[in-house]
């Protein structure tokens, strides 16, 4: 005769469900609500355009998206650093265009020496960043105004030295070919460069005293100054970093297109970088932001732009979508921070 044992199973089920809820809550906290939203939006974009075009989710197109977002991604990563620090740089696109021209012209003038061409580009980029930083810190000029002047000046210099035309031809050089078209472990070299730069900046911000000081300056510059942080030095160094990485983006632009581009390929990158930074969780008044959300935002913008292009939608609509995304990102930030609307009672 068998004995049937009965007992309360509800508590066990409740324990299981509460454990799952705690696990989900812990996962959400570690990933971040902002990043979860970006992952969801990216999934929607991929599924939508994948259902409209069979080739959209193909490996070749995915690699193409990766290559297309690399230059914007590099500029967004360093834009994130300066935004966290409480500043802004709207001249990154012009700096990339100037570096692109310099890399190609130095390459051809030095007997096709790729390393000298790249070194000259990074040098001019770092100098442009240094100039921006000095104007902002010691000229006491608002960062937006100072870098807006840089946007016009660096673009003008690039056009002057190139006569407004593409310069040189670099695709007869193995180094430029490797940078622009090479692959490592199945991924384009350009994508690997973005990954390495993003990881480096992530480690810098999250695990070093330098990163903690950058957050402190953006969060409360008065408290940071009283804590003994040399704010002027940090700001100048941040703008030098932006210039150097913008130059790397310019070198990749040269490698990808085969020649130095004074404007084409770099114009409008500053707006894309700011949009991606805002979407990725950077608070534009400083003190908050991270690289994980930035990479997701860059991927989202790249997937959306590629999908619109694949569907044959007018490129002008991409600008409309980009502007709308920037407004949405800033509105969400304002709501999350509990800031009252301008001109309305709290």
Query: What is the 3-class SS of the chain, one letter each residue?
Result: CCCCCCCCCHHHHHHHHHHHHHHHHHHHHHHCHHHHHHHHHHHHHHHHHHHHCCCCCCHHHHHHHHHHHHHHHHHHHHHHHHHHCCCCCCCHHHHHHHHHHHHHHHHHHCCCCHHHHHHHHHHHHHHHHHHHHHHHHHCCCCHHHHHHHHHHHHHHHHHHHHCCCCECCCCCCHHHHHHHHCEECCEEHHHHHHHHHHHHHHHHHHHCHHHHHHHHHHHCHHHHHHCCCCHHHHHHHHHHHHHHHHHHHHHHHHHHHCCECCCCCCCCHHHHHHHHHHHCCCCCCCCCCCHHHHHHHHHHHHHHHHHHHHCCCCHHHHHHHHHHHHHHHHHHHHHHCCCCCCCCCC
Percent of the chain with pLDDT over 70: 85
Provide the pLDDT for residue 27: 43
Quote the pTM value: 0.84
**Mean pLDDT computed over 53-59:** 89
Q: Is the pLDDT of residue 12 over 60?
A: no
Domain segments of the chain: what residues?
73-333
Q: Is the pLDDT of residue 157 over 90?
A: yes
Provide the pLDDT for residue 16: 57
pLDDT tens digits for range 198-249: 999 999 999 999 999 999 999 888 899 999 999 999 999 999 999 999 999 9
Give CA separation, 71 vs 82, 129, 215, in Å: 17, 17, 25
**Mean pLDDT computed over 69-95:** 93
Q: Is the pLDDT of residue 192 over 70?
A: yes
Provide the pLDDT for residue 283: 83
Query: Where is average pLDDT lowest: 32-36, 106-110, 184-188, 301-305?
Result: 32-36
A 10 A CB-CB count for 339 gives: 11
**Per CATH, the architecture of 73-333 is what?**
Orthogonal Bundle (1.10)
Rounded distance between C-alpha atoms, residue 310 and residue 299, angstroms: 16
Provide the pLDDT for residue 111: 84
The confidence band for 282, taking pLDDT boundaries of 50, 70 and 90, is: confident
């Amino acid at each position: 005769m068998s004995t049937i044992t009965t007992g309360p199973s509800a508590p066990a089920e409740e324990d299981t469900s509460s454990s799952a809820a705690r696990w989900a809550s812990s996962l959400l906290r570690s990933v971040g609500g902002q990043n979860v939203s970006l992952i969801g939006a990216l999934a929607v974009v991929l599924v939508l355009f994948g259902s409209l075009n069979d080739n959209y989710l193909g490996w070749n197109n995915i690699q193409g998206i990766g290559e297309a977002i690399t230059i914007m991604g590099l500029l967004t990563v360093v834009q994130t650093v300066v935004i966290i620090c409480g500043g802004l740089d709207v001249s990154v696109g012009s700096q990339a265009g100037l570096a692109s021209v310099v890399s190609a012209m130095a390459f051809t003038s030095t007997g096709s020496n790729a390393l000298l061409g790249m070194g000259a580009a990074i040098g001019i980029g770092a100098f442009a960043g240094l100039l921006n930083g000095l104007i902002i810190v010691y000229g006491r000029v608002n960062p937006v105004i100072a870098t807006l002047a840089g946007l016009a000046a660096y673009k003008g210099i690039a056009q002057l030295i190139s006569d407004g035309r593409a310069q040189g031809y670099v695709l007869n050089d193995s180094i430029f070919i490797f940078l622009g078209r090479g692959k490592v472990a199945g991924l384009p070299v350009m994508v690997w460069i973005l990954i390495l730069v993003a990881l480096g900046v992530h480690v810098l911000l999250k695990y070093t005293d330098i990163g903690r000081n950058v957050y402190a300056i953006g969060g409360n510059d008065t408290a940071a100054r009283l804590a003994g942080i040399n704010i002027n030095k940090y700001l100048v160094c941040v703008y030098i970093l932006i210039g150097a990485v913008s130059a790397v983006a310019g070198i990749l632009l040269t490698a990808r297109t085969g020649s130095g581009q004074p404007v084409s390929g770099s114009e409008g990158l500053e707006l894309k970088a700011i949009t991606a930074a805002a979407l990725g969780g950077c608070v534009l008044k400083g003190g908050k932001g991270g690289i994980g959300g930035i990479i997701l935002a860059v991927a989202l913008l790249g997937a959306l732009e590629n999908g619109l292009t694949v569907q044959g939608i007018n490129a002008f609509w991409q600008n409309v979508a980009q502007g709308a995304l920037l407004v949405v990102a800033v509105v969400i930030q304002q709501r999350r921070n509990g800031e009252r609307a301008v001109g309305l009672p709290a």
